Amino acid sequence: MFLKYFSLFLLTLFIIINKNDSARILAVIPTASYSHQMFYQQLWRQLAIQGHDMVVITTDPTGETLPNFKEISIRESYGPFKKIIDLILEQGMFNIFFSSEMDELGKELIHFQLGLPQVQQIVRNESEYFDLLMVEHMPGPFYALKKRFGCPMIGVVSLDGFPSSHEAMGNPVYSVLYPYSLFPYQENISLWERIIVVVFNGLARVFEQFDGLRMNVYAKDYFGVDVDVMEMLGETDMLFVNANPLFTVVRPHTPATINLAGGIHMKPPRELPKDLKQFLDKGKDGVIYFSLGSNVKSKELSMELRETILTTLSQLPYKVLWKFEDDTLPGKPKNVMITKWAPQQDVLRHPNVKLFITQGGIQSLEEALYSHVPMVVIPFLADQEGNAVKVQSKGLGLTLHPTTLNTNNFKNAILEVLKDPKYKANVKLLAAQIQDQPMTPMEKAIWWIEYVLRHKGAQHLKGPKIPLYQYYYFDVLGALVATVFVIILFIWLSFKGIAKCCRSLTSKDNKIKKD
Ligand SMILES: *[C@@H]1O[C@H](CO)[C@@H](O)[C@H](O)[C@H]1NC(C)=O
Ligand SMILES: *[C@@H]1O[C@H](CO)[C@@H](O)[C@H](O)[C@H]1NC(C)=O
């Protein structure tokens, strides 16, 4: 206990010494999903330790007690957000994009979040100021805060950025090479897939523009600013992405896009809870860790799927730790232990854990990767399907679909990944390739944040922006085609003219001869 207070005292002292060039930073991560939140939690903490005044609006407060670190919980957002997740699970990722039901739920969520008194208290406080905004770069009204506080803005995402985010930084947004990370196909895509990607991308961009108009109304109503939200998006100073080359297509970036892939969200190792440690220690023949993450609850799986899983697990000669969110699991086999919550990073670091069965969320996959644990992926939503494809194609594990999962293929996949050493070898190799960087992702993030603070923005690092019709050469091709057309027309008319002339000449000749 004393040690804890003493270290807190030292930390406070360190923060006070550091305070010289400290800035006041507002971070806003509105998405009610643990994976979106946890990716940057270590960074918020580190910024406070560096002496900055941090205010973090988050759905998952960490409860960190540092003197210059304040979390504003918007945990209530999980209520309306859950409805959206349920709709996605029910209707599928792509059907919901243009559906009116989704639209209603989206509106409900925005009204709810922006109207929260704790959000209003900050936004409406006339004497409130920030030197830097760090806002989750997802379609929505929060870009408008740049105008409200009149400071530089760094966009942050826990995955690769949306095309509109990349475009804002001047990065190429060529959808055939760099499809939305939500698409399950990423490389060497067929003509049919390219048609889907291009049409979807086009529709999404048009939709985004219309949505932007709506966001302007929200920004006025809730933030009290007259602003073009899409224009604010375009004025983002810097973009932080998690574009792990394993799971996203490698793409060129302007210097204003910083890739933080490589484990910035990893916490220092901690002792496991006693019951978990005992269970894992005993699994000398190997333990399987099974978790479907935070959006898909194992307890909400269909009875049929649950039965298949239970039967399969009961036939395995290994212990299984299953993150299952209920107190009891009827029919639980003897080799399975259930836990409502597990410190996933520490579980994966345990030497007896030999396989991770996961839904394929990117942070989960990265944690497995850096702990050298191969995977069996059962993707459900969002980017999971795309990630699952990559896991299989890079030989890090195998992928099964929840709709086609049966005892037979599930058991075979588990045994194959556990028994064939190539999976673990691939995982180790790729982890080493990604983590071999000149600075740790944390150092990189801090350095660039302070760069933006020092120079009050980073607009000069962004690429040139041109309208899409210029980007896709429509005007150039149009001009060339028109020129060629005019030349051909000219030549054709000339020939016609010459021909006519000759004809009239020859006919005249003929006439003369006849005469
Ligand atoms: C408004 O912001 C200022 C500056 O951060 C702060 O000192 C003050 O306590 C805030 N007022 C309210 C009512 O939150
Ligand atoms: C794409 O094609 C290239 C060249 O044919 C090949 O080397 C690569 O493995 C392919 N990628 C995938 C994901 O199939």
Q: Tokens 């994966």 map to which residue?
A: 348
In this structure, of 143-157, 220-234, 315-329, the range with the lowest mean pLDDT score is: 315-329
| Ligand 1 near 131 CB (within 6 A) | no
Tell the CATH superfamily of the 21-264+440-465 domain: Glycogen Phosphorylase B; (3.40.50.2000)
Instruction: Report yes or no on whether pTM surpasses 0.85.
Output: no
Half-sphere exposure of 113 (CA within 13 A, CB side): 27
Alpha-carbon gap, residue 316 to 124, rounded angstroms = 58
290-327 per-position pLDDT tens digit: 998 877 777 777 888 888 888 998 998 999 998 888 88
**Least trusted range by pLDDT, from 79-83, 185-189, 265-269, 463-467:** 185-189
Give me the residues paired with residue 58 across strands: 29, 73
Residue whose pair of structure tokens reads 């969002």 in the numeric block: 382
353-386 exposure pattern, b = at least 16 Cβ within 10 A, e = fewer: bbbbbbbbbbbbbbbbbbbbbbbbbbbbbbbbbb
- pLDDT over 80 (residue 200): yes
> Atom of ligand 2 at shortest distance to CA of 186?
13
pLDDT at residue 513 is higher than 70: no
Radius of gyration over alpha carbons of the chain, in Å?
Answer: 29
Question: Please, is 462 exposed, middle or buried when counting C-beta atoms within 10 Å of its C-beta (0-12, 13-18, 19+)?
Answer: buried
Pocket test for ligand 1, best of 57, 128, 151 (most atoms within 8 A of CB): 128
128 lines ligand 1 (CB under 6 A): yes
Check pLDDT > 90 for residue 155: yes
Count the Cβ atoms, other than its own, within 10 Å of residue 97. Answer: 16
Proximal ligand: closest to the CA of 187: 2
Nearest ligand by distance to the CA of 117: 1
Average pLDDT over the chain, rounded to an integer: 88
The two tokens of residue 154 are 């760094």
Centre of ligand 2 from the C-alpha of residue 92, in Å: 28
By mean pLDDT, which of 52-56, 79-83, 299-303, 432-436 is the weakest? 299-303
pLDDT of residue 100: 83
The answer, yes or no, to whether any atom of ligand 1 lies below 6 A from the CB of 117, is: no
From the CA of 24, give the closest atom in ligand 1: 5
Residue 118, ligand 1, Cβ within 6 A: no
Band the pLDDT of 1: cuts 50, 70, 90: low
d(CA 397, CA 392): 5
Which ligand has an atom closest to residue 127 CA?
1
| 124-149 burial code (b ≥16 CB/10 A, e <16) | eeeeeebbbbbbbbbbbbbbbbbbbb
> Region 125-131: what's the mean pLDDT?
95
State the pLDDT at residue 7: 67
Q: How far is CA 193 from CA 190, 207, 238, 288, 382, in A?
A: 5, 21, 31, 36, 18
Q: Do domains 21-264+440-465 and 274-435 have the same CATH topology?
A: yes
Q: What is the pLDDT of residue 180?
A: 78
Counting runs of H as helices and runs of E as strands, what totals does the chain give?
19, 13
125 Cβ inside 6 Å of ligand 1: yes
pLDDT at 215: 92
The Cα–Cα gap between 196 and 381 comes to 18
CB 265 within 8 A of CB 196: no
Superfamily of structural domain 274-435? Glycogen Phosphorylase B; (3.40.50.2000)
Q: How confident is the model over 26-64, as pLDDT tens digits?
A: 999 999 988 899 999 999 999 999 999 999 999 999 998
Confidence grade of residue 4 (pLDDT, cut at 50, 70, 90) = low
Q: Whose CA is nearest to atom 2 of ligand 2?
A: 188
Extract the tokens encoding 100: 């009116």
Residues belonging to the chain = 515
Ligand nearest to the CA of 130: 1
What is the helix, strand, coil percentage profile of the chain, to 5? 50, 10, 35
Ligand 1 center to 26 CA (angstroms): 13
Is residue 456 predicted with pLDDT exceeding 90?
yes
Compute CA 497 distance to the chain's CA centroid, rounded to the nearest angstrom: 64
d(CA 140, CA 160): 17
Q: How far is the CA of 65 from the centre of ligand 1 (A)?
A: 20
Token output for 436: 């071999």
Query: How many CB atoms are closer than 10 A to CB 266?
Result: 18
| Position 489 pLDDT exceeds 90 | yes
Which of 240, 244, 192 lies closest to 390 in space, CA to CA? 244
pLDDT score at 347: 93
Residue given tokens 């309208």 in the structure block: 467
Span from the CA of 179 to the centroid of ligand 2 (angstroms): 16
Counting atoms of ligand 1 from 1, which one is nearest the CA of 125? 1
Q: How deeply is 483 buried, as exposed, middle or buried, from its count of CB atoms within 10 A (0-12, 13-18, 19+)?
A: exposed
The three-state (H, E, C) secondary structure of 214-262, written as one string? HHHHHHHHHHCCCCCHHHHHHCCCEEEECCCCCCCCCCCCCCCEEECCC
Distance 390 CA to ligand 2 centre (A): 12
Question: What single string gives the DSSP state of each residue in 356-404?
Answer: EEE---HHHHHHHHHTT--EEE---STTHHHHHHHHHHTTSEEE--TTT
Confidence check: pLDDT of 83 > 80: yes
For the stretch 353-371, pLDDT in tens is: 999 999 988 889 999 999 9
The answer, yes or no, to whether residue 17 has pLDDT greater than 70, is no
Confidence of residue 132 (pLDDT cuts 50, 70, 90): very high
Residues with CB under 6 A from ligand 2: 187-188, 393
Q: Where are the domains of the chain?
A: 21-264+440-465, 274-435, 471-514
Asked whether 136 and 31 are in contact (CB, 8 A), the reply is yes
Q: What is the pLDDT of residue 10?
A: 66
